């Protein structure tokens, strides 16, 4: 039997193949790593803004620029104008929404709010308020809605007194829906006499009068009688119809309105009055008797026997073609025959936002300010019923 010689394998060739395989493997891994890194999406910068409770996360994704500033164009628009976009200038104050001190100064005060601009801190949460201004087509503190671009956390407060937002881009647009405030006109309807009342301004009855301090006399137009006769035990029952003078305005401000009544308690039964407030005689408004007043309001209104508060609700505006109807009944006490000294005053005082002297950095809500003068925030409109 012949033995066959077994020749050894070509070990040199196998080793070369192994080296080539390893090189290809390493190159493949390096290429995979390179392309994986190159194609990885760039993460946005995380800014801890303290908005976790609002957004459900610990911060917000932000496109803030390196300098940390956002250029914001600000528009305040009058939502009462239904025919077009109407911007107007207000005093708009922006505060640090994360500050805990209620007297913290505003970070920005803007007076140009018709495409005005402000440079704000990107990622900073702000809240804003508007200062009320009296006068024809004045400024209201009402804030109904906010919108825009380049902003997060856009929200108007439920009580319509403020709003919040956070800039998160290099440039942004902020739109605030507010209202322009009106001046007032009024006429009075005698429900017992079933007629509108003559006044001392133009000796007419059905027209509205815009003169502060107007005296309503009786239902006889152009006659010699110039007072309304009320005997002991009789009831005065009248309806004040109140309108805004300017179109696209609202006579209510953010806090609503006080109706202030001066009726001497020696003559009138002020313990049992009757009052209702409606819009155009249809929708009943939540009239509040003896509301809680600020310390300044208490001083300013010390001469009034009766005070009512009409709150403002969105959609219940007093406009140039939608009246507030304030119906008021008051009875003369038994044995007390009213005379000229028993005239009844019914005055109207809108409630808005003002800069307090005790904390000038914060806007407060009220019908008078807290200076020693207790000045009316909006011009108080006075009316008088001449009684005999």
Exposed / middle / buried, residue 309 (Cβ in 10 Å: 0-12, 13-18, 19+)? buried
pLDDT for residue 9 = 46
pLDDT for residue 32 = 54
DSSP assigned state of 93: E
Give the per-residue SS3 of 286-350.
CCEECCCCCHHHHHHCCCCCEEEEECCCCCCCCECCECEEEEEEEEECCCCCCCHHHCEEEEEEE
pLDDT for residue 23 = 59
Signed CA dihedral, 25, 30, 35, 40: sign only: positive
CA gap 33, 46 in Å, rounded: 26
| Single pTM value for the model | 0.83
The residues facing 45 across adjacent strands are 62
Backbone φ and ψ of 14, nearest 5°: -65, -40
pLDDT for residue 305 = 98
The upper half-sphere exposure of residue 330, i.e. CA atoms within 13 Å in the direction of its Cβ, equals 25
Q: Give me the average pLDDT of each 10-residue run along the chain (388 residues).
A: 42 51 56 49 36 35 86 97 96 93 87 94 96 97 97 96 96 98 97 94 88 92 79 96 98 98 97 97 96 97 98 96 98 91 95 88 91 96 95
CA gap 130, 179 in Å, rounded: 11
CA gap 318, 242 in Å, rounded: 8
Q: Are 182 and 161 in contact (CB under 8 A)?
A: no
Q: Where in the chain is the domain with CATH 2.60.40?
A: 52-181, 184-385
pLDDT for residue 339 = 82
- Please identify, in words, the CATH class of the domain defined by 184-385: mainly beta
The residues facing 28 across adjacent strands are none
Using CA atoms, how far residue 24 sits from 27, 35, 352, in Å, is: 5, 16, 78
CA gap 72, 168 in Å, rounded: 11
pLDDT for residue 3 = 40
Asked if CATH classification 1.10.3470 holds for the domain at 52-181, the reply, yes or no, is: no
Contacts of 103 (CB under 8 A, 6+ apart): 359, 361, 362
Nearest to 94 by CA among 144, 164, 142, 141: 164
CA gap 176, 158 in Å, rounded: 15
pLDDT for residue 22 = 55
Backbone φ and ψ of 344, nearest 5°: -110, 125
pLDDT for residue 226 = 81
CA gap 165, 127 in Å, rounded: 6
CA gap 13, 22 in Å, rounded: 15
CA gap 174, 92 in Å, rounded: 12
CA angle 70, 76, 79 (to 5 degrees): 140
pLDDT for residue 12 = 46
């Amino acid at each position: 039997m012949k033995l066959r010689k077994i020749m050894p394998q070509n070990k040199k060739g196998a080793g070369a193949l192994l080296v080539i395989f390893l090189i290809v493997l390493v190159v493949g891994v390096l290429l995979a790593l390179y392309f994986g890194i190159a194609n990885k999406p760039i993460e946005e910068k995380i800014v801890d803004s303290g908005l976790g409770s609002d957004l459900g996360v610990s911060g917000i994704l932000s496109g803030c620029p390196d300098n940390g500033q956002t250029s914001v164009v600000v528009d305040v628009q009058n939502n009462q104008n239904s025919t077009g976009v109407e911007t107007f200038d207000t005093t708009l104050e922006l505060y640090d929404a994360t500050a805990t001190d209620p007297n913290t100064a505003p970070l920005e005060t803007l007076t140009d709010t018709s495409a005005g601009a402000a440079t704000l801190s990107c990622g900073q949460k702000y809240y804003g308020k508007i200062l009320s201004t009296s006068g024809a087509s004045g400024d209201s503190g009402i804030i109904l809605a906010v919108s825009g671009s380049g902003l997060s956390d856009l929200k108007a407060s439920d009580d319509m007194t403020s709003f919040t937002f956070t800039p998160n881009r290099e440039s942004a647009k902020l739109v605030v829906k507010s209202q322009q405030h009106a001046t007032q006109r009024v006429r009075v309807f005698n429900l017992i006499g079933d007629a509108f009342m003559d006044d001392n301004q133009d000796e007419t009855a059905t027209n509205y009068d815009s003169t502060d301090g107007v005296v309503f006399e009786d239902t006889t137009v152009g006659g010699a009688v110039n007072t309304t006769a009320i005997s002991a035990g009789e009831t005065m029952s009248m309806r004040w119809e109140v309108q805004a003078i300017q179109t696209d305005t609202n006579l209510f401000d953010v806090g609503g309105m006080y109706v202030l009544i001066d009726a001497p308690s020696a003559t009138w039964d002020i313990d049992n009055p009757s009052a209702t407030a409606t819009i155009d005689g249809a929708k009943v408004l939540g009239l509040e008797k003896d509301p809680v007043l600020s310390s300044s309001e208490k001083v300013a209104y010390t001469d009034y026997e009766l005070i009512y508060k009409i709150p403002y609700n969105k959609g219940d505006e007093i406009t140039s073609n939608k009246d507030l109807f304030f119906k008021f009944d008051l009875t003369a006490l038994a044995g007390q025959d009213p005379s000229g000294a028993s005239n009844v005053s019914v005055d109207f005082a809108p409630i808005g936002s003002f800069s307090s002297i005790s904390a000038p950095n914060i806007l407060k809500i009220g019908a008078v300010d807290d200076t020693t003068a207790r000045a009316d925030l909006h011009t108080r409109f006075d009316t008088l019923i001449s009684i005999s």
